[in-house]
Amino acid sequence: MYDLIGDIHGHAVELRQLLQQLDYAPDTTGVFRHAGGRQVIFVGDFIDRGPAIRETLQIVRGMVDGGAALAVMGNHEFNALNFWTFDPSGGHLRPHLPHHILQHLETIRAFSSKELFAEWRDYLGWFMRLPLFLELPGLRVVHACWDARYIAQLREWLPDDRLTPEFLLRASRKGSAELDAVEITLKGHETDLPGDHHFFDKDGHRRTKMRTAWWRDPAAATYDDYYLEAIEALAGQPVDVAALPNKSYYQDETPVFFGHYWLRGEPRLLTPHSVCLDYSVAKGGELIAYRWHGEQTLTPAGLVRV
């Protein structure tokens, strides 16, 4: 069985505390293991923002390479690959614009020396070997969104669910089907806000598009339920389903675990078959896990926090 852990973002102290709370302890090589043979599944976003990125990567990779854990790629690992990969037409796949540099700044600082930068390049190679999603007996894991249409596309392009250099290049091109599939899977669905409504995200950027709750039926939701940021002027109003570019939602009974959404407040299930494990540890929140015993219907008792 598995213990699923949310976005870490370089918070190694909290990661160690959570692993210990879940009864994992370092073996003689320093790899955290569970005496009963349980495994961790990390939902991605190990890097950026936090104070101990290198230590976080050492713990996570040590567990994955040592057979004590599995992991999927987060959007921050995908962004890092693009940021450090040269574009054949010039520059990098992710341009070194100020806001891109700012997002990666703590990771750059963590590996700033010549010796550590060589280590960082090795981590980039490791990121390339991470799957974009996992489907295991009884559960699914993805960083942001399990949309069966895009999962099927990625499986067609990437038979082992891992990036290739050729695919990474195609997925860096605006308007490509490859970018659409990766963006949905690693960042989730967005929709335009109606009228001139907007909000400011966690980094202070003005946004006119809103991430939406792909696990909810929009036809049975208000904007409070369906938008992942509060828009006071729309509070209590039913969603205008006709205006949505994507009306589908997760209806399967296979449990799906993910992170990404910077939730706040008391950790909770989203539906009986879906749970977000990102509770904003990098913004003063908590690091969250779900201890899964094979149940099809998830329970609040499975949530663990530090």
To 10 degrees, the CA torsion angle through 121, 127, 129, 134?
A: 170
Q: Answer whether residue 147 shows pLDDT above 90.
A: yes
| Element housing 65 (H / E) | helix 53-65
Which amino acid is it at 265?
Answer: G
What average pLDDT score do residues 266-283 get?
97
Closest by alpha carbon to 110, among 87, 149, 134, 80?
Answer: 80
Label residue 199 by pLDDT band (50, 70, 90): confident
State how far Cα 194 lies from the chain centre: 27
Tokens of 40: 């961790």
**Max CA separation in the chain (angstroms):** 60
What average pLDDT score do residues 79-88 get?
97
- Range of weakest confidence among 70-74, 153-157, 219-223: 219-223
Q: What pLDDT shows up at residue 245?
A: 86
Label residue 193 by pLDDT band (50, 70, 90): confident
Q: Answer whether residue 306 shows pLDDT above 80.
A: yes
Q: Answer whether residue 201 shows pLDDT above 80.
A: no
| Distances 202 to 121, 159, 193, 284 between C-alpha atoms, Å | 29, 36, 17, 12
Q: Answer whether residue 27 shows pLDDT above 90.
A: yes
Label residue 204 by pLDDT band (50, 70, 90): confident
Q: Answer whether residue 93 shows pLDDT above 80.
A: yes
Mean pLDDT of the chain: 95
